A and B are shown apart, each in its own frame.
Chain A
Amino acid sequence: MGDYVRQLQLPGESSDFSRRQPLALRLHLDLPLLLLLALLTGFGLFVLYSASGQKMPALIRQGQYFLLAYCVMFAAAQIDLKRYQRWSPWFYLLGVLLLVGVIFFGVGAKGAQRWLSVGGFRFQPSEILKLVMPLTVAWYLSSRALPPRFKYVLACLLLVALPSVLILLQPDLGTALLIAASGLFVLFMAGIGWAYIVGAFVLACLSAWPVWMYVLKDYQKQRILTLLNPESDKLGAGWNIIQSKTAIGSGGWEGKGWLNGTQSQLDFLPESHTDFIIAVLAEEFGMRGVLVLIALYLLIVLRGFWIAVNAKSNFGCMVAGSITLTFFVYIFVNMGMVAGLLPVVGVPLPLVSAGGTSVVTLMAGFGVLMAVATSDSGRR
């Protein structure tokens, strides 16, 4: 059936180029989204300069990551949605195989095997799944009537569970949950019944006890306990949360001024340039800065939903919705954990925290989003 569709669409595709179209559309770029991303990454670099102890090399490094990430985004935007749809099951298979490989040949640190090392180059197969998971579930559902019937839902759950369990075995609970969520978001977009959603929610609550008892490692339990009472371990696990709350709170409405945050500049705040960077922003720019950041994020998320609603195919709609929702999960989890609302898990503040991997993965997602936005494949 895939081939059939391609044959149908190919002539139309070529005819697009002959017609006079705006440059952005011809380059497969969504200008509003691009503008918002540029603002966000620019703001991010500003904060990062302060958070990294005013070190130029760190800034240049992150700039290089952004450059790479924009290239990846641009490249991802050029690929036709049909190809994503066609390739996703194969990438899914590849990803799962690599995850199995991690279990047998993986390298890692601190009791977790998360990397594969190929010719001296180390990478995390789970990163691939972050993008491939929603694509694959969307591919599976796109040829079926929506809302999906029970057996298809079940098949989707299997598709979601396989890599998630493999990642959980590494063990990397945070990533496993994020990837599972990105797959489930597709199901949600596909319109599975509310009964499923409520049922899953109840099941999750019921399974909390056995999960605590048998699944969670000691350090994970410690993080949750620390969240409930950070004062219990002021120097150890609680230190991060106490210091980040102090940084955020002491910023007040106006903030202490760029480069003037005592918590971050005097090194009281741990991980200030990575996972806890929002605390630097909150300390130096105050609540005003936080509002600006949240506004930027909200606009990006809304634009993502707008693209989803206007997608010309079910596949595009489900993928765009899932990518956008996942992006929001990053924001919510990171801002929540730094402010002491959620346990500390290794989730960066998207496009602001220092680091290359997450930036590239996220921007690749936005590339797919732009591909959806600029695709002219009609809804079937």
Chain B
Amino acid sequence: MPQHIPLKDPGGEARLFITRILFSVLLVLALLGVILARYYDLQINDYEIYRTQSDRNRVQLQPLPPKRGLIYDRNGVLLADNRPSHILSIVRERVEDLDATLAELQALLPISESDLENFQQKLQRRRPYEAVPLRFRLTEEERALLAVNRHRMPGVTVDAQLVRHYPHGPLFSHAVGYVGRINEQEAQSLDERDYRGTFHVGKVGVEKFYEDLLHGEVGYQNVETNAHGRVLRVLERFDPVPGADITLHLDFELQQTALEALGEQRGAVVAIDPWTGGVLALVSTPGFDTNLFVNGISSADYQALRNSPDVPLFNRAIQGQYPPGSTVKPMMAMAGLQAGLVTPETTVPDPGWYSLPGDSRRYRDWILKIRGTGHAPRVDMHMAVAESCDVYFYDLARRLTIDRMHEYLSGYGLGKRTQVDTTNERPGVLPSTRWKRDAMNQPWYPGETLSAGIGQGYMLATPMQLAAATSVLATRGQWRTPRLLRSVAGQELPNEPVETLSAPPAYWEAVHESMRAVVHSARGTARKIGEGIRYEMASKTGTSQVIGIAQNAIYVEADVAERHRNHGLFIAFAPYEAPTIAVAVIVENGGGASAASPIARAVLDAWLVDDPEPVDGVAEEQTDG
């Protein structure tokens, strides 16, 4: 020890320690001052801010989804209602291992790929502690299974919600459309506030078109929750405003009649009340069960629908564009009268074919292959419509020219969307020289005018357009936009005519008279369906070619594959004197108009006759051009 004494200076060391300790105390005080200042800042200066924030934390605004409006037919038959459905949801924040929980759930109950996909997408957009739906429509058994196992899976919840249901399955699939789960794209375009808590949105048809009416307004409740989202009590509540119940013009029985009459055939029926524009029937076959789509269709079901050669998802009534064929002849006749090119008495020679001046090419009349000659040596308008003479209209079309044809036929709504209140409607084609230049960058050829004159060639129309055009004929020129919606919450919606084709009554009478003869005359092309009929109708048959027939070839039905057979069309309004219904029917590959006319008769009977007799649906051998 003594040898260390010179090296050490105990007094100096003591002073050193005291200095260092003093410095430490000052440092501690300074740093505690910083801490205190921070807490003072948070607790005293910003108290209000954090107090509010803590309240906002504790009090959660919960959306209360509105009840979707119901859809009725004109007689109060329920077409779309809501049924309680149990939904399996997951609160991400409460789940420790999401993958493990999902695997466990999958072992308990079926969860499809699309369920998972939907879930993962929603997971990205959720708010903290928001329940994200995974599986909809749990069965009783599945709910029981979950109830037993849920204690092992924190964050998994089962809630009941009202979900869309379509009681009539395929019957209204194309008329009403359906709702489905909101997808990524829709989520971005929908009002985020309004759709909080709503899982479904109208995807197609009336359900989509009237989404705003049907959806209603979201409600909210202020609830006190813990951080796990568990509701402890409700502090305040704003009830949601349910969506409006809507009534459509559709008639359940008419719809059913049309569907049954079409049977296994692919086709469409559209019936319209000509004085209101109300769509009484809208059928496209085959249909499909819309309920499949509500909660996410399985990929097997979807592939089956997608890959079916009958394309059931395709709404033929408004998307199917067919050459209207001879159904344009009454409109052509009116155009001829209006343009002053013909009178009801004007006659045209009919050898069974027609050729343009200075051109040897022969344009055949459909009668040629049956009789080997024309309808008669000379044909007037009445006969031309009743017997569907092509030569008469070849001549008329040539003299009218394509552009004036376009002008007159536009008045019937051809070539543009009818603006019927549903989705995915297509416009068809009403050709003109300008249309051909724009669409195909080609000049118009005179021969094409002849084809157009009998509704062939470029001309295309949807059954909805044909039904609307027939309404214009029935009302003597009044155009009304076809409407599916009849009333909202009991409030009727008027539908005034927006355009009027003005023509002397005599013209209309002449055309109507010729259309009456289609069924009610000995040589009418649809005389067969006139058997036992208790009312009179004005109508027109039509056949449209699916494949081009070579110039000199003759179409023989039996030789042509089913898919290449001609489409059968039929338009009609009835009763003749005071029409209350206009109808358009198309039967794809039906062979000819005789496939379509009995269907129209069945629909008209259902509408007009209290106790309709069954109609002989056997097709007549006779077809028209």
Chain A residues close to B by CB (< 8 Å): 4-5, 8, 143-147, 188-189, 191, 234-235, 243, 245-253, 262-263, 265-268, 282, 286-287, 290-291, 294, 297-298, 301-302, 305, 308-309, 314, 317, 321, 324-325, 328, 332, 335-336, 339-341, 379-380
Contact = CB atoms under 8 A, between A and B. Distances in A.
Given A4-B1, A146-B13, A262-B58, A245 B42 contact: yes
B50 A379 contact: no
B39 A287 contact: yes
B21 A309 contact: yes
A321 B22 CA distance: 11
A324 B25 CA distance: 10
Interface stretch (B221-229, B379-387, B541-549, B564-572): B221-229
A369 to B, nearest CB: 14
A263 B54 contact: yes
A301 B25 CA distance: 8
Contact of A336 (B18, B38, B232): B38
A266 B35 contact: no
Contact of A249 (B4, B14, B50): B50
B47 interface: yes
A245 B50 contact: yes
Contacts of B32: 294, 297-298, 332
- Closest 8 A/B residue pairs (Cβ): A249-B50, A250-B54, A267-B227, A266-B226, A191-B16, A249-B42, A250-B50, A268-B227
Contacts of B53: 246, 249-250
A235 B39 contact: no
Contacts of B232: 266
Contacts of A286: 43
Contacts of B10: 379-380
B36 to A, nearest CB: 7
Given A282-B43, A287-B40, A332-B31, A380 B51 contact: no
B34 interface: yes
B28 interface: yes
Contacts of A250: 47, 50-51, 53-54
A121 B12 CA distance: 48
A189 B17 contact: yes
A338 B606 CA distance: 78
B206 to A, nearest CB: 40
Given A191-B20, A250-B53, A267-B227, 8 more contacts: A145-B8, A147-B16, A247-B54, A249-B53, A268-B58, A290-B36, A290-B43, A379-B14
Contacts of A243: 57
A286 B19 CA distance: 36
A286 B46 CA distance: 13
B24 interface: yes
Nearest to B42: A249
A340 B73 CA distance: 63
Contacts of A234: 128
Nearest to A147: B16
B35 A339 contact: yes
A266 B58 contact: yes
Contacts of A247: 54
A340 B37 CA distance: 13
B8 to A, nearest CB: 5
Contacts of B44: 252-253, 287
Contact of A248 (B24, B39, B224, B227): B39
Contacts of B43: 248-249, 251-253, 282, 286-287, 290
26 contacts: A4-B1, A8-B1, A143-B4, A146-B8, A146-B13, A147-B16, A189-B17, A243-B57, A246-B50, A248-B43, A249-B43, A249-B46, A252-B47, A262-B58, A265-B226, A266-B227, A268-B57, A282-B39, A286-B43, A287-B40, A290-B43, A298-B32, A302-B25, A328-B28, A332-B31, A332-B32
Contacts of B621: none
